[in-house]
Amino acid sequence: MTAQQIAPISMGRGQSCYRLNPMTQISQLLEANKSYAAARANVADPRPGRHMAVVTCMDARIDVFAVLGLHLGEAHVIRNAGGRVTDDVLRSLALSCNVLGVDTVVVMQHTKCGLAGVTDEELREITGANLGFFPIDDHAAALREDITLLSAKPYLAPLQFIAGFIYDVESGEVDDVAYWERSGAD
């Protein structure tokens, strides 16, 4: 690597780390894709084999497939900040359950989340974006709220089961904290 490919960045509080130049990172991604494309498993069916969708946080510490023992082609994975049910998650799930056969949803939040313990106002100040960020005061309450929202949408009637998990980023364990089942489901 050359000095031009590596740039120092400030981490705050007098800390710094180094990161690759963005173009170097993009080149590495494209190079890695060549190996992947040559050896990948070809999953022809867009319908998830386990009829499942997982809504979770975009946090880089979460390897959704490893955490839940899933494999390529078994579940739709929908990620956003906080793993909250937003309009875009609802749009994706409407397609997943009505077009692609999903009947089970897992909403998985995690410990040490950047949306925990902050307010919308604080996040608007930090980001400069006038958005609703869906901050999390209590994971169990947020999961129950999201499960209630999902279960109440008429266009998500094909959903039979919804579970709310909290993933512990330190231990790797998942805690099953909320569950909903449609009346008459098997």
Distance CA 54, CA 83 (A): 9
- Structure tokens belonging to residue 171: 């231990």
End-to-end CA distance of the chain: 57
The stretches in the chain having pLDDT less than 50 are 1, 3
Contacts of 3 (CB under 8 A, 6+ apart): none
Taking only the tens place, the pLDDT of each residue in 88-128 is: 999 999 999 999 999 999 999 999 999 999 999 999 999 99
Phi, psi (deg, nearest 5) at residue 59: -50, 130
Task: Identify the pLDDT of residue 165.
Answer: 98
3-state DSSP percent of the chain in helix, strand and coil, to 5: 35, 25, 40
Distance CA 55, CA 132 (A): 18
Task: Identify the pLDDT of residue 11.
Answer: 55
Task: Identify the pLDDT of residue 25.
Answer: 85
Task: Identify the pLDDT of residue 167.
Answer: 98
